[in-house]
Chain A
Amino acid sequence: MNFAFDQDQLMMRDAARKLLDDLSPMSAVHKIMDSEESYDAKLWQAMAENGWLGTAIPESYGGSDLGYLELAVLAEEIGRHCASVPFSSSIYLAAELIKAAGTEEQKHKYLPKLAAGEQIATVALAEQGRTDLDGVTAKVEDGRLHGEKSPVVDGLCADLLILPAREHGELSLYLVDLGQGVERSALHSMDRTRKQARLRFDGAAAERLGGSGEAGRHLDAAYDRGAALLAFEQVGLAQAALDMGVAYAKERYAFGRPIGSFQAIKHRLADMFVKLESARSNAYYAAWALAKSPDELPAAAAYARLAANEAAAFATEENVQIHGGIGFTWEADPHMLVKRAKHLESWLGGGLVWGERLLGNAA
């Protein structure tokens, strides 16, 4: 047994960290937050050029096929830098769904473009905020899609959408080119660095992805893969919050001493670290299951998700508290981490959803 990343993976992490330090410092994330840009296009371009997008895509479809552990390494750094890119939508969710459910033709058609960053894809998981499949009313008739999906993460910038819809009474997945027959309107997510949209379809061309009636099965697996990988973004984010809190506690003085010397602050930071390490360990397990032991993935993904949701919420919220008044301001960084944590949690679901997914496997 060896429960650690290997030397190559650690070198990859260092390189990823350097690229993000250079291109996506918090000042760059602030700029996206205060702009109408839906993502950081320059950073996205750099990720594509460095082969990040194709990390878990087979070579025959334009990827490098390095694997899921490597993708997890990148995910942690993206989370740590609070980067504003559609990586998770396009890669963890959409590309993986096409890999799992697509025909050869669909894989050849879409995956190379996603791996090269020429197209951005996302997945519409909700209608009117409802994510269970009983709530799906979108319909496909004669290859044309009608209905509404909301909210859709990266729905403003995506070129391609995967969504569940009904056709002849069957609930299936469909691929939709977002070029025509789609009306996009921006929603106001509290995390302005991960923008979301409402999409209305009135006759957009839709091609089925996977078998008829298989939306549930494919989405279920997509949630597990997505949770395992997003857990690394959440771990990275919690680490960023802890690092920020520790740095501030060392430099900020009150009552003649650094506030980090007070146990009230020190112990809060220690508790952040304990939750973070639990989340990190659970995320490692999920990444390993994703890469090497798919039978364990449903439980491992649920553990990873539950621990990551908790660690990210706690670390980011307490980081604001440790910063005091400055932590509550728009100009400072802490609120951006809080909002990203809530974005990542609300997207694939919180403890109420994942607790049930975990116990579904056990009791």
Chain B
Amino acid sequence: MDFNDTPQEAEFRAEAQRWLSDNAKPRTESGGMMAMFAEAEGEGGNRGEAEWEMVRQAQAWQKRKYDAGWAGITWPKRYGGRGASIMQQVIWGQEEAKYETPPNIFMIGIGMAGPTIQVHGSNEQKDRYLKPMLSGEEIWCQLFSEPGAGSDLAGLRTRAVKEGDEWVVNGQKVWTSGAHYSKWGILVTRSDPSAPKHKGLTYFIVDMESPGVEIRPIRQMTGGANFNEVFFKDVRIPDSNRLGAVGQGWSVAITTLMNERMSIGGGGGMLGGDSGLSDVIKGLGKVYVNGRPAIENAAVRHQLARFMTRFKGLELTGYRTLSALSMGGMPGAESSIMKLEMGLLAQQMAAFVMELQGPNGVLMDSDVALMEAMWQQVYLGVPAIRIAGGTDEVQRNIIGERVLGLPADVRLDKGVPFNEVPTGPRTATV
């Protein structure tokens, strides 16, 4: 057991630090938590020229990293990566987090679609998509959830019908972050409604500029509008854009979701940072409880210590997962722990810091509220963390069934042809 860098790791870290100090400005405050939320949530999330400017800056930074070999630390060199270890990826993440960088709008591509294509894609697909994905030239979005299929993702109904060498897609997807600036989407469809629901799915890569794709913004409870709903009307997708075999879409989607949990739960940004806690401690000298600075209040200190312990536990659990991964493991159900705990902890911590601000607790004014209203923003954004990539409840099912080996729940849809599965009171078969 050793926390220190090995000589090779130290050398890599120094190289990363050199490049970053030549190419970026150091951060002024610790913004680990905020950066994570900006990624989950979209920076500001308002449509318009400012957003396009953000996209251009993000692409420019990504290209710069790509050209210097820092974009895909663990990716094969053949696809523009560095072919290095996951530990080096983490070291890079720790160092990059110390600098002011544009929001990472490439996570769905590089963190989810990329690993999925690397596992399930043909050589032609890997050659076509991976490099422009990694360089930031082409941005990706995820087309999984539907109005009637969230936690029960395999209940999705967007229909794909084969016509010659093409598939014709009709239906609707929802909660699609960044669809409006994405070139490609990863799409799960129903290709066989008469098969049991997990067996009738097929996975595609879809060109977001295809005729029949319509993107409409959804405004979130934060006030921003990074989400979209995406409609498909007779959208034609060449069969060469299919990822995995016909009817095997579920197992391809699982690869994507495993990687998603890993990236939300803290594969990168959380590690090595104190998640802004040192700023919170400083801030608690500036707010008052019962006439005294909050930091002097015993109950406040007790609660703060508990939050700090949970943050530390998350950071350290991340290191344990990494140690296991660097010894050859795969991202497994353990990443569900990190995702579940991260969302709950962020929400509880945000509510706590808001309470300490008294009447300022609900104010979103960055010049009035503590820490530029960061915790108010976290509080409003955190449902995205607790819902996206599998809700808390889904994560607990995963932990219960795949880690602890508990029996699955009784299901009414198992082995039943999808088009005979009950979907509402009218068709319920009780």
Q: A260-B400, A269-B404 are in contact. Are A284 and B2 (CB under 8 A)?
A: no
Give the contacts of B276-311 with A (CB-CB under 8 A).
278, 281, 284, 295, 298, 301-302, 304-306, 308-310
B245 located at the interface, meaning its Cβ lies under 8 Å from any Cβ of chain A in the complex: no
Report A65 CB to chain B, min CB distance, Å: 17
B409/A261 in contact, CB under 8 A: yes
B6/A1 in contact, CB under 8 A: yes
The CA of A303 and the CA of B399, in the complex, are separated in Å by 24
Interface core residue of B9, B305, B405 (most chain A CB under 10 Å): B305
Instruction: Fill in one digit per residue for B371-397: 1 if any A CB lies within 8 Å of its CB, else 0.
Output: 000000000000000000000010111
B341 located at the interface, meaning its Cβ lies under 8 Å from any Cβ of chain A in the complex: yes
Report A2 CB to chain B, min CB distance, Å: 5
Give the contacts of B31-47 with A (CB-CB under 8 A).
none
The CA of A358 and the CA of B305, in the complex, are separated in Å by 7
The CA of A148 and the CA of B335, in the complex, are separated in Å by 51
Chain B residue total in the interface (Cβ 8 A): 52
- Grouping DSSP codes into helix (H, G, I), strand (E, B) and loop, the B interface class, with mixed when no group exceeds half, is helix
B316/A355 in contact, CB under 8 A: no
Q: Which of A263, A278, A285 contacts B393 (CB 8 A)?
A: A263
Q: A1-B87, A263-B393, A306-B305 are in contact. Are A270 and B404 (CB under 8 A)?
A: yes
A274/B341 in contact, CB under 8 A: yes
A266/B400 in contact, CB under 8 A: yes
Q: Which of B301, B319, B337 contacts A274 (CB 8 A)?
A: B337
A3 located at the interface, meaning its Cβ lies under 8 Å from any Cβ of chain B in the complex: yes
Closest residue of chain B to A6 (Cβ to Cβ) is B1
B324 located at the interface, meaning its Cβ lies under 8 Å from any Cβ of chain A in the complex: yes
B262 located at the interface, meaning its Cβ lies under 8 Å from any Cβ of chain A in the complex: no
Report B336 CB to chain A, min CB distance, Å: 8
Instruction: Fill in one digit per residue for A251-292: 1 if any B CB lies within 8 Å of its CB, else 0.
Output: 000000110111101110111011001111110110110011
B residues less than 8 Å from A165 (CB atoms): none
Interface size class of A (residues with CB under 8 A): 35 or more
Q: Which of B302, B317, B327, B396 contacts A355 (CB 8 A)?
A: B302
A161 located at the interface, meaning its Cβ lies under 8 Å from any Cβ of chain B in the complex: no
A303/B2 in contact, CB under 8 A: no
B403 located at the interface, meaning its Cβ lies under 8 Å from any Cβ of chain A in the complex: yes
B301/A356 in contact, CB under 8 A: yes
B64 located at the interface, meaning its Cβ lies under 8 Å from any Cβ of chain A in the complex: no
The CA of A303 and the CA of B314, in the complex, are separated in Å by 12
B403/A273 in contact, CB under 8 A: yes
B9/A282 in contact, CB under 8 A: no
B1/A5 in contact, CB under 8 A: yes
B residues less than 8 Å from A349 (CB atoms): none
Instruction: Fill in one digit per residue for B308-342: 1 if any A CB lies within 8 Å of its CB, else 0.
Output: 11101110110110111011000000100100110
Q: Which of A257, A284, A302, A351 contacts B320 (CB 8 A)?
A: A284
The CA of A280 and the CA of B341, in the complex, are separated in Å by 15
A273/B9 in contact, CB under 8 A: no
B residues less than 8 Å from A6 (CB atoms): 1
A residues less than 8 Å from B362 (CB atoms): none
B317/A1 in contact, CB under 8 A: no
Q: A6-B1, A261-B409, A277-B317 are in contact. Are A267 and B305 (CB under 8 A)?
A: no
Closest residue of chain A to B398 (Cβ to Cβ) is A270
The CA of A363 and the CA of B296, in the complex, are separated in Å by 9
A residues less than 8 Å from B281 (CB atoms): 362-363
A69 located at the interface, meaning its Cβ lies under 8 Å from any Cβ of chain B in the complex: yes
Q: A2-B323, A260-B406, A260-B407 are in contact. Are A358 and B3 (CB under 8 A)?
A: no
B302/A351 in contact, CB under 8 A: yes
The CA of A222 and the CA of B407, in the complex, are separated in Å by 45
B1/A278 in contact, CB under 8 A: no
A303/B308 in contact, CB under 8 A: yes
Interface core residue of A4, A306, A352, A363 (most chain B CB under 10 Å): A363
A267/B396 in contact, CB under 8 A: yes
B residues less than 8 Å from A355 (CB atoms): 301-302, 304-306
A282/B407 in contact, CB under 8 A: no
A2/B2 in contact, CB under 8 A: yes
A residues less than 8 Å from B304 (CB atoms): 355, 359, 363
A246 located at the interface, meaning its Cβ lies under 8 Å from any Cβ of chain B in the complex: yes
The CA of A265 and the CA of B400, in the complex, are separated in Å by 9
A249 located at the interface, meaning its Cβ lies under 8 Å from any Cβ of chain B in the complex: yes
B327/A4 in contact, CB under 8 A: yes
A250 located at the interface, meaning its Cβ lies under 8 Å from any Cβ of chain B in the complex: yes
B368 located at the interface, meaning its Cβ lies under 8 Å from any Cβ of chain A in the complex: no
B430 located at the interface, meaning its Cβ lies under 8 Å from any Cβ of chain A in the complex: no
B305/A354 in contact, CB under 8 A: yes
Q: Which of A5, A261, A278 contacts B406 (CB 8 A)?
A: A261
Q: A263-B393, A277-B337 are in contact. Are A257 and B309 (CB under 8 A)?
A: no
Closest residue of chain B to A289 (Cβ to Cβ) is B3
Q: List 9 A-B contacts (CB under 8 A).
A: A2-B1, A2-B326, A69-B1, A262-B409, A266-B400, A267-B397, A355-B304, A356-B301, A363-B295
Listed in ascending order, the chain A residues whose CB lies under 8 Å from chain B are: 1-6, 69, 242, 246, 249-250, 257-258, 260-263, 265-267, 269-271, 273-274, 277-282, 284-285, 287-288, 291-293, 302-303, 306-307, 310, 351-352, 354-356, 358-359, 362-363
* 9 residue pairs, one from A and one from B, having the closest CB atoms: A278-B313, A355-B305, A281-B316, A266-B400, A270-B396, A260-B406, A270-B399, A3-B319, A306-B309
